[in-house]
Amino acid sequence: MGMIRFVKEEINIIRERDPAIHSNWEVLLYPSFKAMIYYRIAHKLYKKKHFFLARLISQKGAHKTGIEIHPGAQIGKGFFIDHGHGVIIGETTIIGDNVTLYQGVTLGGTGKEHGKRHPTLGNNVMVSAGAKVLGSFTIGENSKIGAGSVVLAEVPPNSTVVGVPGRVVKRDNRSVPRDDMNQVDLPNPVQEDILQLQRTNAELTNRLLDLENEMRLLRKGGKQTVESVSVEEAQQ
């Protein structure tokens, strides 16, 4: 891909997904735009085995933008980083088409693996702010990772992941639309578990009260029976 074509595509992607951008000139100031230019140059050098020069350019880009993309990472078309400060993308990461990352996202390894040690993201994946995806596994296409989640295992396609560690919540096997970048209205399994515990506790409490009432009535009935027997004996 020529640099001019690449620049045009980056401008279109950023303007399409960030409503805060009002002109093409603003895109030139965007950290994600600068980071991707550094990455494309570094990646070409990396593929030609100019590893030192590739890392030199990569680190310069990280210093200027706060976005660290290893030159060995493989990134598809339509990639977008919103704001982006604190984003880290490891060497063996593979990113599909139309993927969106938010600030503070880490696509890293666990420190215990060799070879392919970073995640693979399928097409149309969204990773929300502060999420950490650690290890060599696949995030299935059309999936969402909730803000602050820590994902340590495979994620099926068309899923939403939330929590620490991340828990998968299926979305009725329906694809997530490309323009669905809502980070807020995600399932909350922890809250659902708490609500279920509250319901169970309420049921147990009501059952305990019912048993106490039954015992009270039994004791009261037994006392009345004893009193009746005493009256009859006195009359005799």
Together in a domain, 217 and 112: no
Q: Give the Cα separation of 77 and 97 in Å (integer).
A: 5
Together in a domain, 80 and 197: no
The per-residue pLDDT for 230 is 56
Together in a domain, 210 and 142: no
Together in a domain, 39 and 144: yes
Specify the higher pLDDT residue, 150 or 165: 150
Mean pLDDT of the chain: 83
Q: Give the Cα separation of 92 and 30 in Å (integer).
A: 25
Share of the chain above pLDDT 70, in %: 83
Give the residue numbers spanning the domain of 176.
3-187
Q: Is the pLDDT of residue 73 over 70?
A: yes
Give the tens place of pLDDT for each residue, 164-195: 888 887 665 554 454 555 555 555 666 677 87
Q: Is the pLDDT of residue 8 over 70?
A: yes
Give the tens place of pLDDT for each residue, 24-50: 888 888 888 889 999 999 999 999 999
198 pLDDT band (50/70/90 cuts)?
A: confident
The per-residue pLDDT for 61 is 93
The per-residue pLDDT for 16 is 79
100 pLDDT band (50/70/90 cuts)?
A: very high
Together in a domain, 114 and 216: no
The per-residue pLDDT for 51 is 95
The per-residue pLDDT for 23 is 81
The per-residue pLDDT for 9 is 81
Using H for helix, E for strand and C for coil, what is the string for 179-236? CCCCCCCCCCHHHHHHHHHHHHHHHHHHHHHHHHHHHHHHHHHHHHHHHHHHHHHHHC
Whether the CB-CB separation of 51 and 79 falls below 8 Å is answered with no
Together in a domain, 232 and 207: yes
Together in a domain, 102 and 160: yes
Together in a domain, 122 and 54: yes
Together in a domain, 140 and 229: no
Whether the CB-CB separation of 96 and 78 falls below 8 Å is answered with no
Smallest CA-to-CA distance from 127 within 71, 72, 89 is with: 89
Together in a domain, 176 and 228: no
Whether the CB-CB separation of 148 and 130 falls below 8 Å is answered with yes
Give the tens place of pLDDT for each residue, 58-70: 999 999 999 999 9
200 pLDDT band (50/70/90 cuts)?
A: confident
Domain count for the chain: 2
72 pLDDT band (50/70/90 cuts)?
A: very high
Together in a domain, 79 and 169: yes
Average pLDDT value for residue range 83-106? 92
How many CB atoms are closer than 10 A to CB 88? 17
Which ranges constitute the DSSP H helices of 18-102?
Answer: 24-27, 31-47, 51-65
Together in a domain, 124 and 147: yes
Q: What is the CATH number of the domain that holds 56?
A: 2.160.10.10
The per-residue pLDDT for 220 is 75
Q: Is the pLDDT of residue 101 over 90?
A: yes
Q: Which residues contact 105 (CB under 8 A, 6 or more apart)?
A: 86, 87, 88, 127, 128, 129, 130, 131, 132, 133
